[in-house]
Structure formats: structure tokens, C-alpha cells
Structure 1
Amino acid sequence: MNFAFSTLGVPGMPVSEVADLAVATGCHGVELRTHPEEPVHLRIGARERAAVREEFARAGVEILTIAGYARVAAAGDEEAVAEELSELVRLARDLGASFVRVFPGGGDQDPEIADATAARRLALAAERAADAGVRIVLETHDSHRTGAAVSRVVGQVGHGHVGALWDVMHPWLGHERPAATHAALSPYLGYLQVKDVASAEDLTPLPLGAGVLPLAECLALTGDEGWVCWEYEKRWHPDAEDLPGILAAGRQHLESLAHA
């Protein structure tokens, strides 16, 4: 199992410190939250991009994902969404990342309309992603929180460079069993994104294994090959325990589950 963590858990941490944290805790990769308040975002220039890539290469840590905020099912400006997708793919190419994470963001639209909008936009971006050697993955999130919902979109696209990202919390919140999520997403799955919380009413992030999410069941379904990324949502819960102190234990917990 290749283990990564999201920089959502260490908001604002400089790139060099992120790389050093990965090495110190035995992590193989990182998911870079791509937002203007972070060191890595869409407006950094060629020199900065090269420096980021070199920093992680020096540490022997893979940049797994550019975690963007494009909402591909959202109503509104087609050109703006297409440009954001293009910029995310370009950034992933420049940094040597394997994936670009996007959200559905369909809101309260009719599901068929939201599905069609997302599929159309992703299909238009797919060849650009293929040329860049990048895979765009649609996360189980917001309007499309279940595997069934995400698979409706990705299945319509039908392109190998557009896939799915399984965030374990959102299908669980949508009352979809892990086996059903896996069955829907397995033809398209990029990787598994894990976290833990106390309950559906309290989503404050907890150390892995300290909450109620079905991590063991999800890992048993996906196997011990490929990537698992811990998305610890410290950015949205500043009073939560700091990630660096629990990161190595979280990796060890997942490894024990994967080999149970």
C-alpha cells in the first residue's frame, strides 16, 4: 500500500516542511491542496513550479494529486470551468502529479442535468489530461456523494483519463454501503481517500481508527495495492489535534488493517 496525506491537514505549511514531514513519517506521497491560501496554487509561475517539483524529488516523495476546487456539475459559465480544468491539468503536468481532484458541485439541480453537465465538461478535458499524462478524478462529494452518483458521470465520459476518487466519508453519509460504493467505482477508481469522524453529526477529524467510518471494510475491498490518502480536515476544524503528531500512527493503523 502506498500511503499519502493531504496538505489540508497542515494548512499553509511550506513545501519543504511538507516533504520533510512525509519522509519523517514514512509517507510515500502527498495530495497538494491547490488554493490561493496555500503555497501551491494555479497562479504560481514556471520557476516556482520547478522548485516545488525539485523539492519533492529531492525528498523521494511523490506528488500524488493536485487537489483542485473545480466544480464540474455546477450551473454557470462553461468557459470558466473549462479554463480552470485546463489550468489544473497544466499544473499537475508541471509538477509531475498523477491526478487532478475535482468536485461535482451540482447543487440542487435536476440530477440528470447535473450529470450531463459534468460528463460534458470532463469529456472535453479528457484529451488534454491524456496529453499531459494526468488523470482527472471526480470525488464522491456534495451533490454526488455516493459511488452510484459519481459512476453515472464517469461512465458517461468513458475515457481512461477521467476516473473517480472514493472519499470514504461521503458515501457513508449517503447511506451507501462500502461494497456498493466499490462495485460502482471499481471500473474507474483512481485511489481511496480516508478519514475518521465521531458521528454523522460531528465531523471533526479524528485519528484514524478513533471514529466510526468503515475503514477496514473499504481497505479490504480495494486491497493493499495502489494509493490510500489521509485527508485530515484540519483546515476546517482548527481545534482538531495537529496532524504531524498523529500521521505516522495513522499510516501504521492503515497498514495493520490492510494486512489483517
Structure 2
Amino acid sequence: MKLAFSTLGVPGLPVPEVLALASAHGYHGVELRAHPEEPVHPGLGPDERAATADAFGAAGVEVLGIAGYAQVAAPGDDAAVVEEVRTLIDLARDLGAPYVRVFPGADVGQTDADAVAARRLGTAAEYAADHGVRVLLETHDSHRTGADAIRILGPVGHRQVGALWDVMHTWLGGEQPQETYAALSPYLGYVQVKDIASAQDTAPLTLGAGVLPLAECVEVLSRHGWEGWLCWEYEKRWYADAEPLAGLLGRGREHLARLLNDSA
């Protein structure tokens, strides 16, 4: 498996500094948070996109994915949501990223959420295929478990639409790693790892310092011969008092390497 980290852990950091951290600590790739407050977002022009892609290439670091904020199950107009997904696909294509992350985002009690999300993702799927990008629905918010996610992904039935397994949300949803893998394995793009103190305290911790079943997740993936990406999503952006990620990256990579070695 290859290792990446998300720029959510280093909010606003310029691309050259992100790449320096990745190179210094042995990460193969970076997941780019695509928000206007970040250096990389859909508003970038062609020259900026080309320069960013060149910088990643020169550093030998891959752009794992574009972490967007489109909410594919949310109430409202289909066209606006599909267009938002398409802008993320365009950015991913220009940066050479294989994946785009989207959220479910359904309202509480929304009875048509699964159908709405499946319809929108199905519409975006052909555009994604034409651009060589795969759209991944993250296990998050209204659809936090693998069982929730496949209610959307199953009806879509397109190879360019898959799943992003966020291990915190499936755990909070009461799902065991083997259950999540069984549900998502036909659709799995990559896995976001993280750690927290408890279900009540979700401030980010260094990997291995909390309660999330990371060893079990890695063991399940290894046992089934999965060879994709593990991406550390350290949610520093939402927790100002959390320890800076830069000082934790080496320790985090070493922990993941131990888990991978133990599960081999």
C-alpha cells in the first residue's frame, strides 16, 4: 500500500512546502483539499494548474485526490451539484489526480436521498470516464457506514463512481472493519486513516494514539490483497489547538509502516 496525507492537516500551506513535507517524511502522495481558502481549488487558471502539476512531478509526489465539498444527496437542483462535481473532475484531470472526493450531505429525514445521489453520480460518471477520473463517495455525514454508501453506489453501477472509506465515520456508525470492507470492496478507491480519543472527543491525534481500529483496518485490507492508498486525514483545520501535523508526519508514517509489516 502507498501512503499519503491530506492538506486538511496543513491548512493554507503553499504547495512547495507541502511537497517538502511529503518528501522529507516518505509519503508517496498528497490529497489536496479543494477549497477556496487553499492554494489549490477549482478557481485556479490553466497556468497555475500546470505549474502545480509540474511541481508535484518534479518532487516525485503523486496527487492522490481532489477533496471536494459537493454534496451529492443534498436537496436542491441536480444541475448545480453535477456542475460542481464536473469542476472538481476538471481540476483532477489537470493535476493528474485519479480521484475526486464528494460527500453525501443529505438532510435528516430526507427520504429520496439515495435516489438523488445515485442519479447525480450516474450523470457525472460519463464525464468522469471521459476525463480519466474516478468520483469517490466518502463514508461521511448522512451515509457514514459502508452499508449506507452502497445504497447509493449499487444503483449507480458505474466503474468511475466508487467509495472513499473514512475509518472514523464507519467506526462512529458502529460498523466493524470487516463489515465495511465487505460492503465497499467492489467500489473502494482509497482509505482515509486518522485517530481520535473517543466518540465524544474527535480532535485529531497522531496515528496509534487513539481508539480507532487502524490495525484491524490494515489487517483486513492486507488479508484481502488490497494494494491501494492509505491517506492520513489529520483534521487540523477544524481544531486550532491540535498539535501541528508537520511534527507528527514521521511518527505517523512509521506507525502505518509497522501496521503494514505486522499484517504482511
Unaligned regions of 5+ residues in structure 2, if any? none
- Aligned-partner SS, 1:138: strand
Equivalent residues in 2 for 1:27-106 (5 A)? 27-106=27-106
Equivalent residues in 2 for 1:85-234 (5 A)? 85-111=85-111, 113-223=112-222, 225-234=227-236
Unaligned regions of 5+ residues in structure 1, if any? none
- Aligned-partner SS, 1:229: strand
Q: Could you list the per-position Cα deviations for residues 140-159 of structure 1 after superposition, in whole angstroms to 9, with x for gaps in the alignment?
A: 00000000000111111000
**RMSD over equivalenced CA pairs, Å:** 0.8
2:260 & 2:134 partners in 1: Cα distance?
25
- Aligned-partner SS, 2:109: coil
Q: Could you list the per-position Cα deviations for residues 22-48 of structure 1 after superposition, in whole angstroms to 9, with x for gaps in the alignment?
A: 000000000000000000111110000
Match of 2:20 in 1: 20
Match of 1:258 in 2: 260
The normalised TM-score by structure 1 is 0.98
- Aligned-partner SS, 1:68: strand
Q: Could you list the per-position Cα deviations for residues 199-221 of structure 1 after superposition, in whole angstroms to 9, with x for gaps in the alignment?
A: 00000100000000000001111
- Aligned-partner SS, 2:182: helix
2:148 & 2:228 partners in 1: Cα distance?
23
Q: Aligned residues: percent identity? A: 66
Q: Which amino acid aligns with 1:254?
A: L
- Aligned-partner SS, 2:192: strand
1:131 & 1:248 partners in 2: Cα distance?
38
Cα distance, 1:225 vs structure 2:
1.9
In the TM superposition, structure 1's runs of 4+ consecutive aligned residues that sit over 2 Å from their partners are none
2:257 & 2:201 partners in 1: Cα distance?
26
Match of 2:3 in 1: 3
- Aligned-partner SS, 1:191: strand
1:13 & 1:192 partners in 2: Cα distance?
23
- Aligned-partner SS, 1:249: helix
- Aligned-partner SS, 2:247: coil
2:108 & 2:187 partners in 1: Cα distance?
25
2:132 & 2:259 partners in 1: Cα distance?
32
1:177 & 1:225 partners in 2: Cα distance?
20
